[in-house]
Amino acid sequence: MSKPMLTIDGLQYSNWSREIFQQMHEGGLNAVHATLVYHETTRETLFRLGEWNRRFEQHHDLIMPVREPDDIERARAAGKVGIFLGAQNCSPIEDDIDMVALLRRLGLMIMQLTYNNQSLLACGCYESEDSGITRFGRQVIREMNRVGMVIDMSHSAERSTLEAIELSERPVIISHANPEFFHPAKRNKSNRVLAAIAECDGLLGFSAYPFHLKDGPDCTLESYCEMIARTVDLMGIEHVGLGTDLCQDQPVSVLEWMRNGRWSREMDFGEGSASNAGWPRPLSWLRDSRDFPNLIDGLRQRGFDEDEVERIMGRNWVALLERAATSATA
């Protein structure tokens, strides 16, 4: 009897609970890239790592940590969901390059160089001027390459993204965003960026966050899979995966933390409209992790063969982590 299809979600940030971990099992997920922090400092990041250690202890029958790519197959063999941790900003390292290797040893596999704003490393996608990669950013890219921490440019501006790809000696990813041709959100990526990600042997994880989709919460599964097919024509089947950006059971205060951090007293509406001030209505075909089989069915109906479906659903993520997240000497 063959194994169920390998399934990996390249980005979630939920109000973690046993119920959510059970939903991952029911949906056939083998691994999930879980956001550890947004704007937290180094010390606060250590608290978040401690929280995950407790979750791994309390729910050891359902989840296990992924610190190296091979751990995904170990989790799958054990019937557990592997959790690999990432940061959606560079705040965990503050201004200390030694924190890169230290946090990688503690289990941080992926780090974005920016969230939406200018950071010490690069420029976020909501700034009016894209300053590119900073002097510190060049050093951090080199250090992330050395220790096998994956560079993620999901929330970065175009020049910064292209410069990071050029500077990095390992593949760069966009863990959760969509093509700009599908929907012109500031967070979505141009064809030039998508081509550069493919050229560096990186990966794009398709977002299912309604504000990143044509027709928002009313985006159909057929439209979503058509977006994937058009992107495969541009990037190649080996450079795409899923990064749904599911944020289950989170209060609005968490959305405010994502957008505002500590830098603003006013609500940051991102695209400039108060219409997206709260969480969007969920997609009918991806309400939570139990609905991942819908994606498999949708890709098959779009005409992808079984090998292509398995690449999109998970195998490409494993291959990417093998290329980009295998630890070097730290």
d(CA 266, CA 260): 8
271 pLDDT exceeds 60?
no
Q: How far apart are CA 9 and CA 230, in angstroms?
A: 20
The pair of three-digit structure tokens given for residue 320, joined into one six-digit string: 């990417």
CA gap 230, 206 in Å, rounded: 12
Looking at residue 278, what is its pLDDT?
A: 86
Overall average pLDDT of the 177-194 stretch: 97
CA 59-65-68 angle, 5° bins:
165
205-230 residue pLDDT tens: 999 999 999 999 999 999 999 999 99
Among 202, 206, 196, which Cα is nearest to 172's? 202
Maximum separation of any 2 CA atoms in the chain, in Å: 57
85 - beta bridge partners?
Answer: 34, 108
How confident is the model at residue 269, as a pLDDT?
Answer: 65
pLDDT of residue 267: 77
Q: Which DSSP string corresponds to 224-275?
A: HHHHHHHHHHHH-GGGEEE---B-TT--HHHHHHHHHTTT-SS---TTT-GG
What's the one-letter identity of residue 23? Answer: Q
List of domains in the chain: 8-324 (3.20.20.140)
Quote the pLDDT of residue 73. Answer: 97
Two tokens at 141? Answer: 């890219």
Give the pLDDT mean for 58-67.
98
What's the pLDDT tens digit per position in 127-174?
999 999 999 999 999 999 999 999 999 999 999 999 999 999 999 999
CA nearest neighbour of 208 among 216, 196, 199, 200:
216
- The larger pLDDT score, comparing residue 320 to residue 275, is at 320
Task: Provide the pLDDT confidence category of residue 330 given band limits of 50, 70 and 90.
Answer: very low
Mean pLDDT calculated for residue range 253-274: 78
- Residue of 202, 115, 188, 203 lying closest to 158 (CA atoms): 188
Give, as one character, the DSSP assignment of residue 29: -
Task: State the average pLDDT for the chain.
Answer: 95
Amino acid identity, position 213: L
Q: Is residue 119's pLDDT more than 70?
A: yes
pLDDT > 60? residue 116: yes
**Tens of pLDDT, residues 298-328:** 999 999 999 999 999 999 999 999 999 986 6
Q: Cα(244)–Cα(228) distance, rounded to whole angstroms?
A: 13
User: Is the pLDDT assigned to residue 329 strictly greater than 70?
Assistant: no
CA distances from 185 to 17, 51, 228, 271 (A): 31, 33, 17, 7
5 phi/psi in degrees, rounded to 5 = -60, 130
Q: pLDDT at position 276, please?
A: 64
**In this predicted structure, what is the pLDDT of residue 135?**
98
- pLDDT of 1 > 60? The answer is no
**How far is CA 283 from each of CA 70, 204, 210, 219, rounded to the nearest angstrom?**
32, 20, 7, 7
Q: Which residues contact 64 (CB under 8 A, 6 or more apart)?
A: 56, 71, 74, 75, 78, 80, 81, 82, 83
Q: Is the pLDDT of residue 275 over 90?
A: no
